[in-house]
Amino acid sequence: MLNYEIVVIGGGPAGLAAAIEAKKNGAKEILVLERDLELGGILQQCIHNGFGLHVFKEELTGPEYAERFIQELKDMGIEYKLDTMVLEVSDEKMITAMNREEGILNIRAKAVILSMGCRERTRGAIRIPGTRPAGVMTAGTAQRFVNMEGYMTGKRVLILGSGDIGLIMARRLTLEGAEVLGVSELMPFSGGLNRNIVQCLEDFDIPLYLQHTVVDIEGKDRVEAVTIAKVDERYKPIKGTEKRFECDTLLLSVGLIPENELSKSAGIELDNITAGPRVNEAMETSVEGIFACGNVVHVHDLVDWVTEESRKAGKNAARYVSGELKNTASKISVQGVNGVRYVVPQEIRPENLRGKTEFMMRVDAVYQNVKLVAKSGEEILKSVKRRHVAPGEMENLVLDFGEMDPKSIKNLTIELVQEEGA
Amino acid sequence: MDKKEMICIVCPVGCHMEVVKDGTSEDGYKVSGNQCLRGKVYGIKEMSNPTRVLTTTVKITEGKLPRLPVTTKGAIPKGLMTEAMEAINKVEVKAPVKVGKVILKNLLNTGVDVVATRSMDRDSRYQSQKVS
């Protein structure tokens, strides 16, 4: 039996930031468990730039961003185990893990930080008709093949889904000599960041087919052709609008799902919308002493926000271990309404709020000239203007509870209000 | 082109900007919709001389992975992308490599170097050949 104050599950950007921050806040025995052969998580395959503008005030590539945290973690002497798979986490904070050198490991932790990230939705998750040849893969799989393992994934490529990884891979494969025939998006707008639409599609004249989906895949051993069709407002394909592309590869960039098998094994309550653990202002889950951060909680579009959220989790895990974090009976729910799909954290304990608290949220559609309005009961706490909001761009709102009497805070809602005369 | 609507790509905020040719202004253009100075600089540049940072990989031997990620240490003209890829693809490096190491100097005479974006140790499979 091994004993640690804090065990961090997952050594990607969330786990690294959480472990470092926990150490900075006084936690001594910290262990990071990582299943891959190196730390850094998905950042190691995200070789494009655009990371770190908020955290480091400079533009870094994924591996550079990861390396700074890995170096800091090592410099601080934080322990980690690579090539180690966590099999189970119990609600008593007992962790079962295994690796080739040590076999089965039983670890007891005072606090656990869940930072397992997310995984990509696959063909099976969206039920695409057609044959089942090789050449249909997720965009992230292709990214790892091309950027880390040195395999080219195809010569003529069609991409389904305009999420960021799909857009990034459209550019990457084009630069590597493949012909990217187009990107098909089910929704009337792209789910990716604007910068990626501009830099990855427009720069290379790759067409974006909005309101289109794949209706057929042909090929026996390898993909030979993919057919897309326009969809109606109920997302049903419209007959007669089919376009057939001869290609050898179909990449899927159709969403990410927080990876919560371990959260479930610990009996943690999950949110229906985010598919991640419901958390409070301390990034603590429904099980006391188990914290969660990063893409396992909700899918972020910027790693900088993952870092910020994870620092919060790490700091609070350290406070929990030292007995500073108050678990109080009064809990207040935070809800997204009228156009706000979800808000993280989903719950706050007013007694633990110290001054400014950040809320992260996503809207349900593209809106122009709106206000994000936060209310405590009927009282408006804050209202901020937004010229443009979209589901692909996470919004945040900082509320200052510094002056407020904790007892006066009622159930919080955050909503969108259309600006008058806009 | 006297006027262009564009989405700023300097940072992920993605401001919706309008760049209008304006002889009376000092920079020759009037930029609106940007939230920071970098947006203005980008807007003018997109109109006059668009540039991009290029990230890709090069072959690496004796590392634990066969590819090493690299980036141009600064933006290069957008029109040079294909040529730049051809030049970078000719480079081959050997582990160990430290992050920031110059992989290719003065890419296509742009004055911009290509550097490694991660460190990669020599893989243990090759350790026996190491001169101590």
Name the CA radius of gyration of chain B, rounded.
Answer: 20
Amino acid A422: pLDDT: 46
Domain range for residue A321? 1-120+256-325
Q: Residue B125: its chain A contacts at CB < 8 A? A: none
CA A44 vs CA A19, A33, A257, A290, B70: distances in Å = 19, 17, 20, 27, 12
Chain A residues with CB under 8 Å of B8 CB are 195
- pLDDT (average), residues A33-48: 96
Q: Are residues A116 and A126 in the same domain?
A: no
- What number is the average pLDDT over the span A264-271? 96
Check whether residue A168 and residue A83 sit in a common domain: no
Whether A140 shows a pLDDT value over 90: the answer reads yes
Please indicate whether, in this complex, the C-beta atoms of B85 and A67 are within 8 angstroms of each other: no
Q: Name the minimum distance, in Å, from the CA of B25 to any CA of chain A.
A: 26
Q: Which fold would CATH assign to domain B55-129?
A: CPE0013-like fold (3.10.530)
Question: Does A74 touch chain B if contact means CB atoms closer than 8 Å?
Answer: no
Higher local confidence (pLDDT), A407 or A159:
A159
**Structure confidence at residue A421 as a pLDDT band (50, 70, 90):** low
Residue B132, pLDDT score: 47
| Residues A127, A193 within the same domain | yes
Judgement on whether residues A235 and A261 belong to the same structural domain of the protein: no
B57–A387: do the CB atoms touch at under 8 Å?
Answer: no
Q: Is B77 on the interface with A (CB under 8 A)?
A: no
What pLDDT, on a 0 to 100 scale, did the predictor assign at position B128? 57
Å from B118 to nearest chain A CA?
6
Q: Which of A294, A325, A356 is the last residue of a domain?
A: A325
Do the beta carbons of residue B118 and residue B93 sit within 8 Å?
A: no
Q: Which residue of B has its CA nearest to A395?
A: B13
Name the packing angle between helices A303-321 and A62-75 (round to 10°): 20
Say yes or no to pLDDT of A328 above 80: no
- Least CB–CB distance from B117: residue in A53, A63, A148: A63
Q: Encode pLDDT of A75-96 as tens digits.
A: 999 999 999 999 999 999 999 9
CA A264 to chain centre: 18
Mean pLDDT across the stretch A140-144? 97
Q: How many domains does chain A have?
A: 3
- Asked if A114 and A148 sit in the same domain, the reply is no
User: Looking at A216, A237, A254, which one is the last position of a domain?
Assistant: A254
CB contact under 8 A, A195 and B59: no
A396 at interface of B, judged by CB pairs closer than 8 A: no
pLDDT tens per residue, range A342-378: 999 999 988 777 778 899 999 998 888 899 999 988 8
* Partners of A137 in the β-ladder: A251
A4 plus A108 within the same structural domain:
yes
Contact A149 B66 (CB under 8 A): yes
Q: How far is CA A19 from CA A29, A52, A280, in A?
A: 10, 18, 19
CA distance A52 to A55: 5
State residue A196's pLDDT score.
87
| Pair A111, A260 in one domain | yes
The pLDDT, as a whole number, for residue B12 is 57
Report the CATH number at residue A380: 2.60.40
pLDDT in tens, A167-186: 999 999 999 999 999 999 99
Q: Is the pLDDT of residue A102 over 70?
A: yes
Domain extents in chain B: 3-48, 55-129
A287 and A374 share one domain: no
Whether A231 shows a pLDDT value over 50: the answer reads: yes
Q: What is the CATH number of the domain that holds A136?
A: 3.50.50.60
> What ranges in A76-191 are assigned the alpha helix state H?
123-126, 139-144, 164-175
pLDDT, position B15: 82
Taking residues A107-119, report their average pLDDT: 97
User: Does the beta-carbon distance from B118 to A37 stay under 8 Å?
Assistant: no
Residues A75, A127 within the same domain: no
Are residues A265 and A89 in contact, defined by beta-carbon separation less than 8 angstroms? Answer: yes
Higher pLDDT, A195 or B85: B85
Of B64, B85, B117, the CB nearest to A61: B117
* Residue predicted with more confidence, B129 or A32: A32
Cβ of residue B78 closer than 8 Å to a chain A Cβ: yes
- State whether A164 and A268 are in the same domain: no
Stretch A182-209: mean pLDDT: 90
Tens place of pLDDT per residue across chain B (132 aa): 678 888 887 765 678 899 998 888 888 899 999 988 999 998 998 888 889 999 999 999 999 999 999 999 999 999 999 999 999 999 999 999 999 999 999 999 999 999 999 999 998 877 655 454
Alpha-carbon gap, residue A13 to A147, rounded angstroms:
18
